[in-house]
Amino acid sequence: MLQEAFGRFGFRVRAIQIEGGSEFKATFEAACAELRIQLFMLPPRSPRLNGHVERAYRTHQEEF
């Protein structure tokens, strides 16, 4: 499934930055390992490293 999604990007995905709080983390990590995609884990409570995503979360909460 990831390979199909990444095929639509028009470039090769070599690494992904993720947060640590997902119930699907183990499955996602296994899929990335199979595709040889490096994962970078964000440290806890560091929104300045992931500001655009945190802002999207806030916007979604306010609008929906």
Q: Domain range for residue 23?
A: 2-63
CA-wise closest residue to 35 among 16, 10, 52, 56: 16
Q: Encode pLDDT of 8-42 as tens digits.
A: 988 999 998 887 777 778 888 899 999 999 998 88
Token digits of residue 54: 């945190």
How many domains is the chain partitioned into structurally?
Answer: 1
pTM score above 0.85: no
Amino acid making up residue 48: R
Q: What is the pLDDT of residue 2?
A: 83
